Amino acid sequence: MKLKDFPEEELFLQGSAACQGCPGSAAIRVAFKALGRNTVLSVIASCTSVFQSPFPVSALELPTLNMAFATGGATASGLSAAADRLVARGVLEEKPTILVWAGDGGTYDIGIQALSGAAERNADFIYVCYNNEAYSNTGTQRSGATPYAAWTTNTTKGKEEWRKDVAQIMVAHGIPYVATASLAYPTDMFRKFARAKEIKGTRYIEIQAPCPPGWKFPSSHTIKVARLAVQSGMWMLYEHEDGKTTYTAGTQRIIQGQSKLVPVEEYLRAQGRFGHLFSPERDEKRIGEIQRRIDHVFETLQFTHKMKEHIMDIEMAPPR
C-alpha cells in the first residue's frame, strides 16, 4: 500500500491537547486510517488520555472508553463479548474491531496481568502498546520498558537494568498475531494494522514512540529518532504469525545485508536522556555494552538468513 492510497478521512481531530511533535497522536492517526470507522476504542491511562478526555470534548472521533491502568485486557474482553451478543441478536450487522490503546506503563508494568489473562483466553481484540519507554504523562519516571543507561527522574545516573521485551512475552502466549512497528515506517505500520484487522483472536502490536520532552530532543526530531532506532538496531520491526517470525522494512534490509547497521552511538547522541554517557566524559563501558548486545542479535539473525538462503540453493538445484 502506497501513501497516496491511504484513506483521507481523519478520525483524529486537529487542535488536540497533545504536546508538540507527540508520537502518540502520530501513531493513532495511522492506526485509525487502517482500522476505519467501525472500531470501538478502550484507552488505558496514558498520554492518550490527555487528548482523549478534556471534558466535555475529545479529539477522537470513535466511541471510546476511558479506563484505568490495569484494565486493558479485561475491558477489551468485555467489549468483545458484548459485541458478539449484539451481532447474534441482530442489533449490529458487523462486529466492530475492538482496539485497546495503552502506553508502556499500562502494558509492561501495571496492565500485564489483565493482558496475559485475555491473551490466554484468546479474546477477540487488538491490543496496541505505544511504547515511549517511560511514564511520560506524569513526568518521565522509569518503567519496565526504559532501556539500559537511560535517564529518568528516578534513575538520574542511567537505568542499571535492561528492559524487558513484552512483544516476545506475547509471542510466547501463542496468540495469532504479534507485530512491532515504528513511526518512521508508516506504510509498514499501516499494513500490520490492516493485517491484524483481518485476523480473529488476540492481536498485539507494539509501536515505539519517541517522546520529545521525556527523551529530551527537539520536537521536530520525533520521526528522525524513530528511524535511527530501527537503523541502529535498538528497535526491531517484525511480525509473528503461525509460529513464524518475519522481519520487515528497515530491520529486514539490515538482516539481508542491503543496508548496514548504524553505530548505536548516533542514536544515543540524538537524545538528551543518554547525555550522561558522553559528558563530562565518554562512558566507553556502557556504550560498548549496548553495542555488543545489538551486534550479537544481528550477527545471529544474519547468519540464520544466510544459512536459509544456502539451504534454498541446495533444494532448488537440479538433481544430479
Residue 27: closest CA among 265, 35, 137: 35
Tell me the closest approach of the beta carbon of residue 187 to other proteins, in angstroms: 9
Which residue, 46 or 202, is less far from other proteins as judged by CB? 46
Beta bridge partners of 85: none
Residues near 243 by beta carbon (within 8 Å), at least 6 away in sequence: none
Which residue, 47 or 167, is less far from other proteins as judged by CB? 47
Contacts with other proteins by CB under 8 A lie at 3-4, 6, 8, 10, 12-18, 20-26, 29-30, 51-61, 183, 186, 212, 218-224
Whether the Cβ atoms of residue 204 and residue 127 lie closer than 8 Å to each other: yes
Rounded-to-integer distance, Cα 47 and Cα 57, Å:
16
How many residues are present in the chain? 320
Neighbours of 63 (CB within 10 A): 11
Which residue, 39 or 202, is less far from other proteins as judged by CB? 39
Which residue, 141 or 187, is less far from other proteins as judged by CB? 187
Tell me the closest approach of the beta carbon of residue 295 to other proteins, in angstroms: 29
Tell me the closest approach of the beta carbon of residue 183 to other proteins, in angstroms: 8
Outline where 69-185 has alpha helix (H): 72-89, 104, 112-121, 166-172
Which residue, 14 or 156, is less far from other proteins as judged by CB? 14
Residues near 95 by beta carbon (within 8 Å), at least 6 away in sequence: 83, 84, 87, 124
Which residue, 56 or 318, is less far from other proteins as judged by CB? 56
Rounded-to-integer distance, Cα 297 and Cα 184, Å:
22
Question: Which three three-digit cell numbers place residue 143?
Answer: 518503567
Say which DSSP state 203 is in.
Answer: E
Tell me the closest approach of the beta carbon of residue 267 to other proteins, in angstroms: 16
Tell me the closest approach of the beta carbon of residue 204 to other proteins, in angstroms: 23
Question: Which three three-digit cell numbers place residue 7?
Answer: 484513506
Tell me the closest approach of the beta carbon of residue 235 to other proteins, in angstroms: 17
Question: Which three three-digit cell numbers place residue 318?
Answer: 537440479
Tell me the closest approach of the beta carbon of residue 208 to other proteins, in angstroms: 15
Tell me the closest approach of the beta carbon of residue 131 to other proteins, in angstroms: 16
Phi and psi of 241, rounded to 5°? -145, 140
Which residue, 125 or 190, is less far from other proteins as judged by CB? 190
Look at residue 118 and give its three-state secondary structure: helix
Residue 250: closest CA among 183, 299, 176: 183
Which residue, 18 or 115, is less far from other proteins as judged by CB? 18
